[in-house]
Amino acid sequence: MNQSNPRRPKRGSYQPKPETVALLKVSGNPINGLGETIPRRASAFFWHPPDQHPYGELQIVARQSSRKCPGAGAAFQAAYNYPELIPVADVRNEAPAEQLAAEATSFTLSHQADAVGITSMDPLYVFEGYTISEPWVIVLALAHNYERLKEVPSDETNGVGVCDVGDQYARGTRASYALTNWIRSQGYNANPYPGPMASALLLIPPAIASGLGELGKHGSLISRQFGSGVRLAGVTTDMPLVPTKPDRFGADEFCKTCQACTNACPPRAISEQKQMVRGVERWYVDFDKCIPYFAESASCGICIAECPWTRPTARPKLLATMASRR
């Protein structure tokens, strides 16, 4: 744990405020399908419209706690500054799928995204109650600035970490809207899913399928290029494309013995063992333990900042170690 960061509670000392606990009216773990053995779509809850799930008031508290940090209001305002979408052009670019995939990738990388993956749509990527008709998902990765991210959690005295979160969401908004409009200009339908709200598309599963990284013990994606310090955005489309391959570089294996995030998480929300969730055995974060601290501490983010893969100086050594073990 980063003991020099005065905003982080010492291990084991965090207790949620009674008014926060009072807003956690039902457990989120059954909603997430913890213990369920049959695959199903994820239920829409946090970061969906606050009147449509049991944590609406807690969501408002979480938003307020991040917006009171210096600079965060403007940073998130930029993330919600959605550009206008153009209509789909009448004339189609009839190039082969390989060429269209290469052009879409190069367009995205030259419009603020740091990495791109492509995968075919799976109904399990779409939240229950939503519909997406396009057969392809393009996932965009937006890297955090490590020096800024490691300042989390933020509060009224220091908003550096949460501002970097807002800034990367804003890049995701600009990049995903630019790509959507480019695809539409080529005569194909496309829709952007940039966040910060959850919207219809679950982002980590298509990101893993398209090779942007592996799932870490802390429940976030770990990328070979950026570690855990990375935001995601999506674009769905009916433009013919070619999928990119999954990337296994040893992150899942490394998590089996590393405890950096479990030790750093103030409410001890990160499970040591994989668990069965909606029919898949995988790493899982206890929602009920995470959410009070998340809501009180400007969206926390300690787990992704403390993950050794996120440190630019550590990443090459970890990659080499894991490659030598395979």
Contacting range for ligand SF4; rule: CB under 6 A; set: 33-41, 82-90, 167-175, 211-219: 211-219
Q: Are strands 136-143 and 115-120 parallel, antiparallel or unpaired?
A: antiparallel
Is residue 140 a contact point for ligand SF4 (CB under 6 A)? no
Other Cβ atoms within 10 Å of 152 Cβ, number: 27
Rank residues 132 and 302 by Cβ distance to ligand SF4 and give the closer one.
Answer: 302
- Would you say 55 or 182 has its CB closer to ligand SF4? 55
Contact 116, 109 (CB under 8 A): yes
- CB-CB contact of 139 with 207 (8 Å): yes
Q: Using an 8 Å Cβ cutoff, are 159 and 71 in contact?
A: yes
Burial of 306 (0-12, 13-18, 19+ CB in 10 A): buried
What is the nearest approach in angstroms of ligand B12 to the Cβ of residue 99? Answer: 29
**How far apart are alpha carbons 309 and 311 in whole angstroms?**
6
Residue 261 binding ligand SF4, by CB under 6 A: yes
Q: At closest approach, how far in Å is the CB of 165 from ligand B12?
A: 5
Which of 163, 230, 241, 307 forms a contact with ligand B12 (CB under 6 A)? Answer: 230
Closer of 233 and 260 to ligand SF4 (Cβ) = 260
Q: Could you tell me which residues are beta bridge partners of residue 117?
A: 139
Q: Give start and end residues of each alpha helix (H) in 37-158.
A: 56-67, 72-79, 97-109, 146-149
Query: In the set 11, 25, 256, 282, which binds ligand B12 (CB under 6 A)?
Result: 282
Please say which residue, 209 or 300, places its beta carbon nearer to ligand SF4.
300
Pairing of strands 275-277, 190-193: unpaired
DSSP annotation of 223 reads B
Asked if omega into 196 is within 30° of 0 (cis), the reply is yes
Report if residue 255 touches ligand SF4, rule: CB under 6 A: yes
The neighbouring-strand residues paired with 72 are none
Q: Does 24 sit near ligand B12 (CB under 6 A)?
A: no
Shortest separation between residue 247's beta carbon and ligand SF4, angstroms: 16
Using CB under 6 A, which of 116, 143, 303, 322 touches ligand SF4? 303
Say which DSSP state 254 is in: H
Q: Counting contacts by CB under 6 A, is residue 229 touching ligand SF4? A: no
Instruction: Give the footprint of ligand SF4 on this chain (CB under 6 A).
Output: 216-218, 228, 254-255, 258, 260-261, 265, 267, 269-270, 285, 290, 293-294, 300-303, 307-309
Instruction: Give the footprint of ligand B12 on this chain (CB under 6 A).
Output: 28, 32, 42, 46-47, 165, 195, 198, 201-205, 208, 215, 219-221, 228, 230-232, 277, 280, 282, 284-285, 287, 290-291, 294, 299-301, 303-304
